[in-house]
Amino acid sequence: MSDNSQEEKIKEALFYKRLNSKVKCNLCYREGTISEGKTGFCKVRKNIGGKLYSLVYGKACFYSVNPIEKKPFYHFWPGSFAFSFSTVGCNFRCKHCQNADISQAGPDETAELDLPPNKIIQAAKSSSCEGISYTFTEPTVFFEYCVDTGTLAKREGLTNNFVTNGYMKSEVIKKSKEFLDAMRVDLKGDQAHYQRMCGGIELEHVFQSIKEIFRAGIHLEIITLVIPGENDNKATVELLGSFLE
């Protein structure tokens, strides 16, 4: 496939810098520098001809209609339903991920649905959902798809929420404020847990994102998945609790 025909099926990325033939992605704190012809750590963003592209725009791999409490949100539109979808790809490598079959896959490793933003909105409305949830994998890595879907959804009176690991950079949070009503962020454990279980993640960046989401005035809920013997020790609970105070 030539670059031109490939470009017709993909979307130029937001938030990146060109560095001669390489590109630097500024979407998440991985801050990947990607050589020509290569994809980033999340597998869904590719350098083609010195420009960065999303390979999953309009290509959901899974969707379902869920009660908002299943996300879980407890204080955001209780009793409502969210049309929930994702693409493949993630910037984390959590050993305990319950959706690893899609979060750790690349675009050629699962079936892709043809679901551009307008079809997502139609599907949400026809299934009587009050909102859209960007979930199951990590919405940060399919952010361009989220922006266009979320903007349309807002115009149609639907709410938008992210279920996220909170590893996005400041520019992403600022842009999210234009269409996003709520974020539910995982705060997974202490630094050793993030290093050992999630693929070399820096807890300080998650803390930073949580502060910025809060300051941006986006409805914020935080959960910690407790793994007995892994992240339920007193020091971890006190660390996370004191941050949230």
Q: Record the tokens describing residue 165, joined without a space.
A: 């690991």
Residues from 137 through 166 that contact ligand SF4 (CB under 6 A): 141
How open is the CA angle 53-92-197, to the nearest 5 degrees? Answer: 165
**DSSP per position, 176-227:** HTTT--EEEEE----HHHHHHHHTS--HHHHHHHHHHHHHTT-EEEEE----
Out of 10, 25, 121, 132, the only residue in the binding site for ligand SF4 (CB under 6 A) is 25
Of 100, 80, 98, 78, which is closest to residue 89 (Cα–Cα)?
100
List binders of ligand SF4 among 56-115 (CB under 6 A).
91
Residue 175 CB, nearest approach to ligand SF4 (Å): 14
User: Which of residues 42 and 82 has its CB atom nearest to ligand SF4 in the complex?
Assistant: 42
Q: Which stretch binds ligand SF4 (CB under 6 A): 28-36, 104-112, 115-123, 231-239?
A: 28-36
Q: Give the interface segment with ligand SF4, choosing from 26-34, 96-104, 107-115, 216-224 (CB under 6 A).
A: 26-34
Burial class from Cβ neighbours inside 10 Å (0-12, 13-18, 19+) for residue 172 reads: buried
Which residue among 1, 6, 17, 40 contacts ligand SF4 (CB under 6 A)?
40
Among 42, 68, 82, 206, binds ligand SF4 (CB under 6 A): 42
Residue ranges that bind ligand SF4, judged by CB under 6 A: 25, 27-28, 30-32, 40-42, 45, 91, 141
